Structure 1
Amino acid sequence: MIAALRAFCVLGALMTAGSASSDTTYTVMSFTDLEGWPRDDHAAALSVFRNTCADMEGQEWQALCAVAYSQKDSGARAFFELFFRPVLIRDGSPALFTGYFEPELDGSRFPTSRFRYPLYRMPDEARNVPGWLSRREILTTDVMKNRGLEIAWVDDPVELFFLQIQGSGRIRLPDGGLLRVGYGGSNGQPYRSIGVELVRRGVYSAHQVSAEVIKNWVRRNPVEGEELLLHNDSYVFFREIRKISAQDGPLGAMNRSVTPMRSIAVDPVYTPLGAPVWLEKDGAGPIHRLMVAQDTGSAIKGAQRADVFFGTGDAAGSAAGRLKDPGRMMVLMPIQTAYALAPDSTG
C-alpha cells in the first residue's frame, strides 16, 4: 500500500495518518538503555525489516534499506547500532501492549452436512452504500442465496463470527490444503459488541468477558447464542487471497506477510510503517525484543500502543488473548531524523 517517495521529510514520516498531538515528546535514547538488547536475535529482526523496508517513504529509509540488503546476519546488531537511534515517543497516554492472531478454521470449498456456514464475497449492491442490510437480514433471508457469492463453507458459526472480527484467516480444507481469506468489505452497519451485551444482561461481569468465554457460552446456549450473534449488526465480507502462499503469514498494512513475534501493529501517526521498534513489555512473560511496525489496527491509537502478532491458529489466539500489559517502546529512527525530532537530546 505504501509507495516509496523521492523526497524525505523528517516529520512527514511520522504523520502518515494524521498529526501527532501538541504535547507529544521525543527523547533520543542510547542502545545501552534498552533492557535485553544484547540478548536479542538481531538477525531475525533484520530479516523482517528487509521484508518491507523497500516500501518505506523517504530517501533516508531507502538508503538504509539498501544497506540492510547487503548486510550479513552476523553484522545485524552492528547495523542497527550504527545507523539508528532509539527514540522514546510519548503522547501523555500510558503504554499498552496487546496481541492479535490469524484464526484458522476447518472448511470446504463445497457445502456438506458438516460445512454449512458460508463465507461470502461482497455483493455489488453493498458497495459504496453507507449502511446496507444488517447481519440479521443477511443471514435470515434469501438475499445471498444462489448468487455464487460463497468462497467457502465452515463448520462453526461461532468461529466464523470471530473470523469476521479479525478480518482475515486461513481455512483448512479436507484434502489438507489451505485457503487464505482477507477483508473484502462490510455492510456499513455499526459494530455492536456481544461481550458488552452479555455484561448488560448480567450474564458476566466486565472482567470475566473474553473471546473464549463468549464462544463457550454461545455453544452451551445454541438458541440464545444464535440470537446473541445477530445482536451485532455489522457483517464482514471476504476475498480470497492468492498473491501469497497460504503457508506464509497474513498481509499487514504494508501489503506484505507479517511475522509471528516480530511484526507489530502501531499507530502510524507516531510510528512510521516499516520502522524497527524496540518493545519492552512488562507483566507476565516479559517481552524484550526488536519488532518491525508492519501493520495497523482501528484500536491501535497512541504513541505507546502496539499489537503483537502471535501467528496463526488456536494456540496463537490463546496466547494473544492473554496479552494486555504495560511497558514502553522505542522507535529506531535514522540518526539524522532522530536528532531532528529531539534536538536537545544527547543520546
Structure 2
Amino acid sequence: MSRSIMPGEPAPDYTILGFDDLDGWAEDDHAAALSVFLNTCMDFDDADWRALCAVAQGHPPEQARLFFELFFRPTLIEDGEKPLFTGYFEPELEGSRTPTPRFRYPLYRMPPEARDTPRWLTRREILTSGVMENRGLEIAWVDDPVELFFLQIQGSGRIHFSDGSYVRVGWGGGNGHEYRSVGKEMVRRGIYAAHQVSAKVIGAWVQRNPGIGEELLHHNPSFVFFREVTQVPADMGPLGAMNRSITPLRSIAVDPDFTPLGAPVWIEKAGAAPMHRLMVAQDTGSAIQGAQRADIFVGTGAAAGLAAGQLRDPGRMVVLLPIQRAYALLPDGA
C-alpha cells in the first residue's frame, strides 16, 4: 500500500488479529480462495508478494488453509468510516452494432483528448454537447439509458445482438470526475426514502419520467468509457482492475488506497444473508472508497443483478497481509 495522507487527514488505524478472531474462518473453503488468489498473484510487482505467489503455486489445495495461516497476518484497517458491503454484477444488455430507432444510446470508447487531462468534460457535457458525434467512437448502441448508466457504474458487461452474437466490454477510462450517487440525490429531493432506493427503483422511476429522469442521471458527473474485451471466454467472469477474470462470490472491489489489489481479504458481512468467507481484492470502483468498503462480485446476468441490488450490509473486512508487511504498519513497526 502506498497511500499518502493529506494534511489534516487522520492516519488509518491498523490492528493485527489472529486467525481465531475471524468468525467462521475454519469452516471456509480455503482451496477455492487459494485458486482465486492464484489468478492474479503473478501480477504483483512487489518482492514480498511475488515470493508468496511462488509458494502458493506449489502449495497443495488441500493445505490451502495452512498456506494462509503460515504466511499472512489478518490486519484490520480502519479509517473512521462505518463498514459497508454492497454487491455488483456483470450486466447483459440488448444492443445493436448500428444505431436504430430502438437502439440509440451508444457505448463510447475513450477519445484521445480525454486521456491527456486529469479531468475532462462532465457527463452532461459529454452527452449533450455533440463532442462525441461522427468520430467512430461507438462500440455498440443499446435501448435503455438507465441500463447503460448502471453498466458504467459496474464497469463491465456484455451486449447481446439480434444475431445471437455478443461483445464483452470493460472499463476503458473515465472523465476524472468523482462519482455522485443518484440514489442519494433522489432521497435529497424527497422522491424516495433511503430504504426504498435501489437500482431497480431508480430504473423504473426514470422510465416513468423520461425527461426529468434522464436529467437526474446527469447529477452524476462521472462518465465511463469502454473498450472491447476479446480475450475472455464466455464461461469466465469479466475482467477486473487487474485485467484478469474475476470470480463470483470470491472477488471483491476495494479502495486500493487501503487494500492492495490481489490481497486476500476476509469478510464478515452481516444482514439478511450473512457471508463469512475469504475473498480476493481484484477490482476497484469509483464508488468504493474507504478502508472498510467492499463491493462483492455476484455474477453475470439478471439474477445476479437482482441479488447484487439487494446487498447493502454492515460488517467488517480484514486484509491478509504478508507477515513483515503487517507488522511494519504498526507504530514504529512494533
Taking structure 2 as the reference length, the TM-score comes to 0.86
Tell me whether 1:35 sits opposite 2:35 in the alignment.
no
Do the aligned partners of residues 143 and 91 (structure 1) sit closer, same or farther apart at CA in structure 2, a change above 3 Å counting? closer
1:87 is aligned, of 75, 78, 90, to: 75
User: Which one-letter code corresponds to 1:175 in the other structure?
Assistant: D
Shift of 1:99: 1.8
Unmatched 5+ residue regions in structure 1? 1-13
| Contact map agreement 2:179 2:286 (CA 8 A) in 1 | no
Task: Work out the CA distance in 2 between the residues paired with 1:33 and 1:189.
Answer: 39
Do the aligned partners of residues 83 and 231 (structure 1) sit closer, same or farther apart at CA in structure 2, a change above 3 Å counting? closer
Do the aligned partners of residues 124 and 296 (structure 1) sit closer, same or farther apart at CA in structure 2, a change above 3 Å counting? closer
Which residue is equivalent to 1:105?
Answer: 93
| Contact map agreement 1:56 1:274 (CA 8 A) in 2 | yes
Task: Work out the CA distance in 2 between the residues paired with 1:131 and 1:63.
Answer: 38
| Contact map agreement 2:179 2:287 (CA 8 A) in 1 | no
Which residue is equivalent to 1:327?
Answer: 315
Which residue is equivalent to 1:217?
Answer: 205
Tell me whether 1:276 sits opposite 2:264 in the alignment.
yes
User: Which one-letter code corresponds to 2:198 in the other structure?
Assistant: S
User: Which one-letter code corresponds to 2:70 in the other structure?
Assistant: L
283-292 or 232-241: bigger deviation: 232-241
Tell me whether 1:312 sits opposite 2:322 in the alignment.
no
| Structure 1 residues 119-134: aligned runs within 5 Å | 119-129=107-117
Shift of 1:329: 2.0
Do the aligned partners of residues 192 and 70 (structure 1) sit closer, same or farther apart at CA in structure 2, a change above 3 Å counting? closer
Structure 2 residue matching 1:338: 3-state secondary structure: helix
Taking structure 1 as the reference length, the TM-score comes to 0.83
Structure 1 residue matching 2:32: 3-state secondary structure: helix
Task: Work out the CA distance in 1 between the residues paired with 2:49 and 2:68.
Answer: 13
| Structure 1 residues 1-347: aligned runs within 5 Å | 14-15=1-2, 17-19=3-5, 23-129=11-117, 135-136=123-124, 138-140=126-128, 143-187=131-175, 193-230=181-218, 232-342=220-330
Q: Percent identity?
A: 69
Structure 2 residue matching 1:302: 3-state secondary structure: coil
Do the aligned partners of residues 80 and 218 (structure 1) sit closer, same or farther apart at CA in structure 2, a change above 3 Å counting? same
Shift of 1:69: 0.8
Task: Work out the CA distance in 2 between the residues paired with 1:267 and 1:230.
Answer: 24
Task: Work out the CA distance in 2 between the residues paired with 1:316 and 1:228.
Answer: 25
Do the aligned partners of residues 345 and 151 (structure 1) sit closer, same or farther apart at CA in structure 2, a change above 3 Å counting? closer
Which residue is equivalent to 1:10?
Answer: none
Shift of 1:170: 1.4
Task: Work out the CA distance in 2 between the residues paired with 1:19 and 1:140.
Answer: 37
User: Which one-letter code corresponds to 1:18 in the other structure?
Assistant: S
Structure 2 residue matching 1:248: 3-state secondary structure: coil
Shift of 1:246: 4.5
Task: Work out the CA distance in 2 between the residues paired with 1:301 and 1:247.
Answer: 30
| Contact map agreement 1:28 1:345 (CA 8 A) in 2 | no
Aligned positions, number: 332
Unmatched 5+ residue regions in structure 2? none
Do the aligned partners of residues 277 and 156 (structure 1) sit closer, same or farther apart at CA in structure 2, a change above 3 Å counting? same
Shift of 1:125: 4.6
Task: Work out the CA distance in 1 between the residues paired with 2:46 and 2:221.
Answer: 41
User: Which one-letter code corresponds to 2:4 in the other structure?
Assistant: G
Shift of 1:135: 4.5
Task: Work out the CA distance in 1 between the residues paired with 2:54 and 2:250.
Answer: 21
Do the aligned partners of residues 19 and 273 (structure 1) sit closer, same or farther apart at CA in structure 2, a change above 3 Å counting? farther
Do the aligned partners of residues 213 and 28 (structure 1) sit closer, same or farther apart at CA in structure 2, a change above 3 Å counting? same
User: Which one-letter code corresponds to 2:244 in the other structure?
Assistant: R
Shift of 1:276: 0.9
RMSD between aligned residues: 3.0
100-109 or 124-133: bigger deviation: 124-133
Do the aligned partners of residues 218 and 25 (structure 1) sit closer, same or farther apart at CA in structure 2, a change above 3 Å counting? closer
